[in-house]
Each structure stands twice: as C-alpha cells, then as structure tokens.
Chain A
C-alpha cells in the first residue's frame, strides 16, 4: 500500500505539490490526470525517492520513503518506474538492458537473470529483439523494453510517468496494450497520463490534479464521466 500524506514539494521558491493526500491499495490502478505543471509527474518521482519532499510523508508498505535511515536502493527494487523518455541504456542490447539490474542489484547469476529477462521481454512482445541495440528499435519498442526492464525486478508497484507522451501517435497503442495487460494481471499501478480514454478504461480510481493539489478523486465514471468541479470539466473539455 502506498500512503501519501499531505506532501509538499518545491523547486526553489516554486511550490509544485501543495499538500497532496491519497492512498493506493494493493492491486489498484490509479490514474492521475491534469494539465502540464500541475505537479503530477513530480509527485510520482517523490514516491520512489528520486525527488525529495519538503513536508508530509510517503509510506510504501509502511516504510517511510523520505526518512533518513531508509535504504532507497532497496526500496526502489519494489517500485518500478517507466519514464516519458524511455531511457534505454544505449550501449547494451535489449536483453542486456533488462538483465543489468537483476544481475547487479538482485545478484542473480547470468543464466537466472537471462531467464527473467527473456520472460519479461516475451511478456511485452519483444522476444524476437533480444540481441538488438535499442538504437534500432522504434520508440514504442524501446518503451516496452523499459517496461520489461522494470518488471524484471519483480516490483510490487509500477509507476508510469506519461509513458506514451513522447511517442508517435501510431506507437501509443502498443504501449497502452502492454500497460493494459499489466493492469489485468493485477499489478498495482499509478499512471500519470494524458490518455483520458485509457485512464477511464483501466483505472479503479482517477485523480484530477490542478495547481499542485488533488481537485477531484473518485471512480472513472465519476471523475471523467460526471465531473463535479468546473476545473475538471474545463480540463476534460480541452483534452477529449
């Protein structure tokens, strides 16, 4: 379970997240929607400690993420994250990209790591690209590889930071299909996304972020289907 309590985050004088509270239960898929600069991506980076917070607390399975004594390297094994820019390691083949962290972090043997990597790459439909360098893949394929790379650590949670925003329109579908597959398998997921239709379809809950706070949160039918706040209506009108 991820418990976010009154989190504040600033970059210098600019406060981006202004007191956000929400919980994500095991097995739940929660989508965060909202305009650019509303603080949704930043919040995601705070959940696995890639960004620090100024106030509040984030707990993952009871572990305080931003406490001094927390071993973030250890915690991050359980929280996979997929970035907008897929961040393939250019010097490694697809297979090596996925094997690297299991080898270094989980200390798996070469053959064990390879087995895990091959399994996850097949899972995302890249079983035929093992020996290829990422530079030769399309953006959609690289993003699916990034998903496999995160999954190879057997995380309990997956965070998606606008995973399809940097893709050409015709490649968005294949990545969404992979994400849908994970949701159906019961992965606990937080999606920051601009794909409103997709969010409505896969999410258990949707949170609308506006100016650093959660403006509206509830079931997709509520928030997207029948929004109550004028800002939510306004936002949905602009993107749908």
Chain B
C-alpha cells in the first residue's frame, strides 16, 4: 500500500555543502545586521512614542502597528516590487534586509516599551539631578538597564530574524542559505535531501545563536 520508490542521494548534497555553508554565513550576518539596525530604530521609535509631539508619536505608532499586523512576506514584497514600481530599484538582499529590519524594529519597540516600565522613573530623575541632559540620562542610565530586561526578547527576535531571512528567496535572493539551497534543488531536483540539510543548518545556527546570546547575556549582565 505504501510504495516507496524515492532513492535518496546524499553524495551531491555533501559535495555542495560548502556552498550551503557560505549561504548560512550570509543568512547569519543579514539577521545580525537587521537586529543591530532594528534595535537602534526601536530605541528611537520608543522615545518618539513617548514624546509630546503628536507627529512623532503617530509615526512610531504607525510603524509598530504595520510591522506587527501584516505578513513579513508582504513587507518584503512591497519593498522590492513596490519601490521598483516607483523607479527606486533595490537589490533582493537590500529588500530582505529592509523588510526584516522593519519588522524587528516594530516588535522590539513593543518589547522595549514593556521593559521600560521595569526601569524606575526615579533613575531618570537621579540622572537629571546630576546635571545630565535627558538624552544622556536615556542613553547612559535607562537604556543599559533596559537592555538587560529585554535581553531574552531580543534573543528570540534574533532567532526569528534568522529564520525569516529565508523569505529572501521570494524576491530572487540566491546566495543566502535558502536561496543557495533553492538554486541547487532547481538544478538537481534532489529537493528532499537539500531541504533536509538546509533545515538542519538552520536549526544548528539558531541553537548556536541562542547559546552564544546566553553566554553573552551572562557576561554582560552579571551585576
């Protein structure tokens, strides 16, 4: 009743592993870059969100709302094809990076907003009473303590970003882990083997990232 005819061929997957690992590296640094930029934007959106200026606040609220309530896939599509329609062409990789960063910034802003409640208002008061400007108080006293509180959500977001870079394939990216794998399957039709290995690489990459983050968190926030 279950006629299994498929013959696994792993040899050529092994032979092409270096290309896939090169892709994994691109996947990793794209995710990392999107996190670094995402965190900076999120901190900016957070202070905009808390400002008295209605325009600034609206921009921040709008950003968070769109990022969280529309599919990441569509966000990347819009950046690639949408911008293209206005004559502003960007590369597949840039569209992917921008899309994931847009998303990261939106989610992180909400995480940070929650975390900020755990940093007492009196910390800002103490900093201001020493003559620090509000910017100095925010960047030197509030943010470092905030980062400790939101370190786990940041790690989760990093892993999400790592996995979501696989969406680059929909806008033609062909050198990240998913893109490279897809290109290889197109040539060989060994879809199962390639995708299985790609999944394993994603898994290991995610686990490694989590482990390194844990170690870094332990080192950075041991106070």
Contacts and interface: CB of A to CB of B under 8 A. Distances in A.
B57 interface: no
A80 B133 CA distance: 15
B130 A150 contact: yes
Contacts of B214: none
Interface stretch (B75-83, B105-113, B140-148, B169-177): B140-148
A87 interface: yes
Q: For the side of the interface on B, what is the size category?
A: 20 to 34
B16 interface: no
Interface string B129-168: 1111100100011001100100000000000000000000
Interface in A120-176: 133, 135, 146, 149-150, 153
Nearest to A89: B141
A38 interface: no
A89 B144 CA distance: 10
Interface in B39-89: none
B126 A87 contact: yes
Contacts of B125: 50, 83, 87
B122 A76 contact: no
A150 B128 CA distance: 11
A41 B191 CA distance: 72
A91 B129 contact: no
B223 interface: yes
Given A73-B133, A83-B122, A89-B141, A133 B128 contact: no
Contact of B136 (A77, A83, A91, A104): A104
Contacts of B221: 91
Contacts of B131: 73-74, 76-77, 101, 105, 153
B144 A91 contact: yes
Q: For the side of the interface on A, what is the size category?
A: 20 to 34
Given A100-B140, A104-B140, A133-B223, A89 B130 contact: no
B169 to A, nearest CB: 41
A73 B132 contact: yes
A230 B148 CA distance: 53
A79 B131 CA distance: 9
Contacts of B144: 91
Which of A73, A74, A149 counts the most B-chain CB atoms under 10 A from its CB? A73
A193 interface: no
Given A50-B125, A90-B223, A104-B136, A149 B130 contact: yes
Contact of B128 (A50, A85, A135, A153): A50
A77 to B, nearest CB: 4
Contact of B223 (A91, A101, A146): A91
A50 B145 CA distance: 22
Contacts of B188: none
B140 A76 contact: no
Nearest to B134: A73
Given A87-B122, A89-B123, A101 B132 contact: yes
A74 B126 CA distance: 15
Contacts of B126: 83, 87, 89, 146
Interface string B112-127: 0000000010110111
A133 B145 CA distance: 13
Contacts of A101: 127, 130-132
A79 B122 CA distance: 17
A208 B123 CA distance: 29
Interface of B: 120, 122-123, 125-133, 136, 140-141, 144-145, 148, 221, 223
8 contacts: A76-B129, A76-B130, A81-B129, A85-B122, A87-B122, A89-B123, A93-B223, A135-B223
Interface pairs A-B: 5 shortest CB-CB: A87-B126, A101-B130, A133-B223, A77-B131, A105-B131
Interface of A: 48, 50, 73-74, 76-77, 79-81, 83, 85, 87, 89-91, 93, 100-101, 104-105, 133, 135, 146, 149-150, 153
